Structure 1
């Protein structure tokens, strides 16, 4: 909203207008500097206390781990992938909506309820993910399938 890309998601039927946000893949990235003194450690750990939900973590373009559960902490040893000076970390998220659809097709076995009631205008398949169930809709809230670092 601050960047004026989307408006107020709670206004009228904007939850449907902005459904595309949860259906897209997103990437978060950041550059960082590593000092010589840190390379003397036996291991250099990247600790992620909250990644929601399906993602691949890269350090300097090399995949160092995958995530598929927003409720666990992930720890990746990245020592062999970083260097003194400039480095980059990126987290590429797969849409939870798309992943849920893919899992539903792949396993072709019902896990009720497959979809929320029509009046909720939510997304199907959230029970295929280790993710906050309410993000695909709830009786008291619209569908905002989140993804990101928290």
Structure 2
């Protein structure tokens, strides 16, 4: 689904929400981390605006580094995007919060998939399943006078699937089928060793777009 009003064209097939949650006794206030995000890999770094979600393929398309991945055989030509590692960075401010009455949490639902979640250079945790939600109490890590930096440092889902398969081989454990799709599918291997949307690794007539990123902000 593409929405030109939001300046992004998300390709993710799962849902995500990233927001700061401030709890006021019996109420919850959601503060979405919308606006400018920085998308970077080893060789490039660009800022883009989003009111919803962002993923590695959409980012490259928006930045004119890639053609539309949804047409022709562009999913094959652009497979380098899936083999690279991408970081999504948000700079934000918090303002005054009465911590005697409130708590602040970072809530992530559906980040895809293998990402280190880092706030102000502090590792909050690691995500390994795009179908789970994650919550961290962060009020003690925030800077209330200056800016804060949230980073989602993601690793290639394809490479993580291969790593998991190699570990099973070393332990002489069976690898769940299908090990790889037939060559004519132009898909990726070991889809059942990662908890991501299965279709992103391709199938008989579908595209293979193993994304990294997040879907939407509430």
Question: When the two structures are superposed, what TM-score results if normalisation uses the length of structure 2?
Answer: 0.65
Does the C-alpha gap of structure 1 residues 38 and 30 become closer, same or farther in structure 2, counting only changes over 3 Å? farther
Unmatched 5+ residue regions in structure 2? 1-60
The aligned length equals 150
CA distance in 2, matches of 1:29, 1:10: 25
User: What value does the CA root-mean-square deviation take over the aligned residues?
Assistant: 1.5
Question: When the two structures are superposed, what TM-score results if normalisation uses the length of structure 1?
Answer: 0.93
Residue pair 1:34, 1:84 contacting (<8 A) in 2 also = yes
Residue pair 1:46, 1:78 contacting (<8 A) in 2 also = yes
Residue pair 1:39, 1:84 contacting (<8 A) in 2 also = no
- 1:116 paired with 2:181, answer yes
- How far did residue 87 of structure 1 move? 0.7
- 1:100 paired with 2:161, answer yes
Aligned residue for 2:151?
Answer: 90
Moved more, 33-42 or 87-96: 33-42
- How far did residue 42 of structure 1 move? 5.2
SS at match of 2:81: helix
CA distance in 2, matches of 1:20, 1:147: 12
Show the 5 A alignment for 1:131-150. Answer: 131-150=196-215
- How far did residue 82 of structure 1 move? 1.1
Unmatched 5+ residue regions in structure 1? none
Show the 5 A alignment for 1:16-31. Answer: 16-31=76-91
Does the C-alpha gap of structure 1 residues 38 and 103 become closer, same or farther in structure 2, counting only changes over 3 Å? farther
Moved more, 35-44 or 98-107: 35-44
Moved more, 39-48 or 124-133: 39-48
Residue pair 2:200, 2:210 contacting (<8 A) in 1 also = yes
Moved more, 76-85 or 87-96: 76-85
CA distance in 1, matches of 2:168, 2:83: 21
**1:21-47 C-alpha deviation (Å, 9 max, x unpaired):** 111110001111121225445532100
Aligned residue for 2:72?
Answer: 12
